[in-house]
Amino acid sequence: MADNVSPKVTVIGGGMITKIQILPTLYYMQSEGLIGEIGICALNTPPLIDLQQDATCKDAFPGATFTPYPDPATTGPDEIFPDLYKEVLAAAPKGSIAVIAVPDHFHYAVLKEALANDLHILIVKPLVLTHAQAEEIEKIAYEKGLIVGVEYHKRFDDRNIMARDSYRAGRFGEFRLAQAHLHEKWYYRDSNFQNWCTCENSDMFTYIGCHYVDLVAYVTGLKPTSVSVYGIKDKYPNGNDGYLWTDARVIWENGAVLSVANALGYPNAGPGGNSQGMVMWAQGPDDGTLMFHQDQYRGVKHSYVVAGTDPGDTTYAEPNPDYYRLLNLGGDVKVPVGYGHRSVSYIINACRKAAATDDLAERQKLIKRFDDEGIMATPANSSYNELVVEAGRKSILSGGREVAIDYKTNTVDFTN
């Protein structure tokens, strides 16, 4: 049985998202007594050593540690442990929390294992890659009274909550057209992405375009009904092929359309961590309405003595204060702020609420509440994302043909 006051958190996946967003929030929650021991399992030791030595976390949370699996103290860097996560999840106390942050195509296998071991779950987006898998996960989790929260952090950006409340109060009228883009910096091509974000597994729309699809659904409450994605193949430094430039058109149930451009193509010399934003045009009874979100430039301009040492750091920079920052507010540890932190802590707290009761009916009531509120993405309230991924993959692999989503059968097929 889990310690239901401060449950253990077992993280599977020790890569980029664990380092910049998940682990600092877990360390902070641990310092507040909200969670217990932290364990992190990766495929091999190099990412774990990287996390252990991370200067940002060392500075913000002096003395904080996690239990690494495999242990770098006794394991060489070339040894690979593809199945160790099963043992690590089996050893976690029942009713404690699993965080899943492995590559997209591996989510399903780890989710099944975490559910089989009775763990509440935070999983980074996308939940899984097919609707059938999402339904299966929803069913198993509900039957066992286990929380599954999907980490779409744009849902916790204040501007998007403002937009959602105003849209749903009718202040924007009806959504007609939207254009969004999210381009990551060129140097991402050099990272571990080149080993998994390849043409056969994923593409830039599936990987990051999904954020703006989820966001439009989150704001408007509408469902996407067809998708066409045109992708340009490009070579990673290791020679693998990836769809590194994509342009998607998503039609919604009211006939509105969202176009989304995505790429690993924002210049390394660009002043932000990436380039992103969305404009939505809508209509009221007698006039047009407008929602304009510049999502990387948040009004801050810095010019430093020298650039930082991380890839993509520039001397002139436009840092985003809203995503994830560790602030010195006095005290022993730094304090995380931003929508990245709010998102992770919200889902971990949802898991903690469920971990606090042995009563299955009570936990199922809690799951239904999260499903109905629609703030936290769950398998039940966000599986349109899996249908969009299925449709998008079918479309991109056929050169951009339009693929429709059928909500009666939860299947996708070419429109002609």
Ligand X SMILES: NC(=O)c1ccc[n+]([C@@H]2O[C@H](COP(=O)([O-])OP(=O)(O)OC[C@H]3O[C@@H](n4cnc5c(N)ncnc54)[C@H](O)[C@@H]3O)[C@@H](O)[C@H]2O)c1
Q: Which residue in the set 27, 28, 85, 339 belongs to the binding site for ligand X (CB under 6 A)?
A: 85
Q: Under the phi-then-psi rule, with left for phi > 0, alpha for psi from -120 to 50, and beta for the rest, what region is 413? A: beta
For residue 204, give both structure tokens.
């830039």
192 scored as a contact of ligand X (CB under 6 A): yes
* 15 vs 209: CA distance, rounded Å: 20
Binding mask 39-68 for ligand X (x = CB under 6 A): --xxx---x---------------------
231 scored as a contact of ligand X (CB under 6 A): no
278 scored as a contact of ligand X (CB under 6 A): no
CB of 21 to ligand X, least distance (A): 8
Q: Which of positions 201-230 make contact with ligand X (CB under 6 A)?
A: 207
Q: 41: which residues sit within 8 A by CB, 6+ positions away?
A: 10, 11, 12, 13, 14, 68, 69, 84, 85, 88
From the number of C-beta atoms within 10 Å of its C-beta (0-12, 13-18, 19+), residue 67 rates as middle
Quick one: 156 or 167, whose CB is closer to ligand X? 156
Window contacting ligand X (CB under 6 A); options: 24-32, 99-107, 320-328, 352-360: 99-107
13 scored as a contact of ligand X (CB under 6 A): yes
Quick one: 12 or 111, whose CB is closer to ligand X? 12
Residue (of 49, 289, 77) closest to 163 by Cα position: 289
Q: How many other C-beta atoms lie within 10 A of the C-beta of residue 334?
A: 22
For residue 209, give both structure tokens.
């375009």
CB of 150 to ligand X, least distance (A): 9
Q: Which residue in the set 33, 63, 76, 82 belongs to the binding site for ligand X (CB under 6 A)?
A: 82
CB of 182 to ligand X, least distance (A): 9
* 370 vs 373: CA distance, rounded Å: 5
101 scored as a contact of ligand X (CB under 6 A): yes
Residues that bind ligand X (CB under 6 A): 12-18, 41-43, 47, 82, 85, 101-104, 106, 124-125, 153, 192, 207
